[in-house]
Amino acid sequence: MNDYIRENLSYFGLYGRMFQVKKCFKPKRVAYGKDKDQYFLFYEPAGIKSDKVIIWVHGGGWNAGTPKFFDFVGQCIAGEGYRMISLGYRLSPKFKYPCQIMDVCNGFNAAIKYLEKRNICTSKIIVAGPSAGAHLTSLMCYSKQIQEKCHVDISGIIGYIGSGGPYSFRNDQSLTLRLLLDQLFKKGYDRRKGEPVALMTGNHIPMLLIQSRHDGLIEYACAEDFARKAEKLGNRCELYSVVDKKNTHSWYTAGMFLESRCENKGLDKFFSWIEEL
């Protein structure tokens, strides 16, 4: 309960920092569908420091958030010298699962085509996402069933980073997560068809799971469940436990991009892991 209260109180500081972010990069908006949320933003740094490209899918409980709202993430990643795509998708409760994963897969395919048209190498892709975005991106990266259904080629993905992801739908999950899942899935839908730990298959993509023991919304055990399944299948996995004082769900999943690498060890881990790939 204490971590849940801390999570709610953290929003004042988060929004305060968001409004202070300087917009150094103007992203290109690209639609991949007819719905207003079926688009992505492409960020091109002034000085490219790496040929790796980060494709990031936002969180927001599956029912909120847009790439535009999370512009501060793009500003941060581009500021580190990486090309970055921030991908949006249709939201619940109006749109039920599997609309979200279909959008993420279709958006990913559209993003790869967009990069290739710009003669940007797509053989060093990092896929990342926080919270609901971690759920969706983990499905795309590790479910062969979804990859085949949506015609997703993962050969160019060299790494996956999930922050605060609900990878397993545990019985001891928070009330907030239960309510969000009730909005996401139709009544009577077999939720194992949308559960990352149930659908994970073995492949070449190493993963970094960033999780806090003081989340308040997502149980730390969700990441442990996913890590154990990865180990069983032979997938390379590192589970990083957040050590920053700002360790509530929203702060360590997205808010860390409002700070510098010197200020935030989780953010430094995010970039250091990518650099070492």
Q: Which amino acid is at 44?
A: E
Give the pLDDT band (50/70/90) at residue 273.
Answer: very high
Phi, psi of 222 (to 5 degrees): -60, -45
pLDDT at 17: 92
pLDDT at 204: 98
Per the CB < 8 A criterion, the answer to whether 37 and 88 are in contact is: yes
Q: What is the percent of the chain with per-residue pLDDT over 70, rounded to a whole number?
A: 100
Per the CB < 8 A criterion, the answer to whether 274 and 126 are in contact is: yes
User: What crossing angle do the helices spanning 99-117 and 132-142 adopt, rounded to 10°?
Assistant: 70
How far apart CA 31 and CA 70 sit, in angstroms, is: 17
Q: What is the pLDDT of residues 11-60, one digit of tens each?
A: 888 989 998 999 999 999 999 999 999 999 999 998 899 999 999 999 99
CATH architecture label of 2-276: 3-Layer(aba) Sandwich (3.40)
Domain locations in the chain? 2-276
Q: What is the pLDDT of residues 118-171, one digit of tens each?
A: 999 999 999 999 999 999 999 999 999 999 999 999 999 999 999 999 999 999
Nearest to 163 by CA among 190, 126, 193: 126
> Does the pLDDT at position 1 exceed 70?
no
Q: What is the 3-state secondary structure (H, E, C) of 166-228?
A: CCCCCCCCCHHHHHHHHHHCCCCCCHHHHCHHHHCCCCCCCEEEEECCCCCCCCHHHHHHHHH
pLDDT at 42: 98
* Helix or strand (DSSP H, E) at 7: helix 2-18
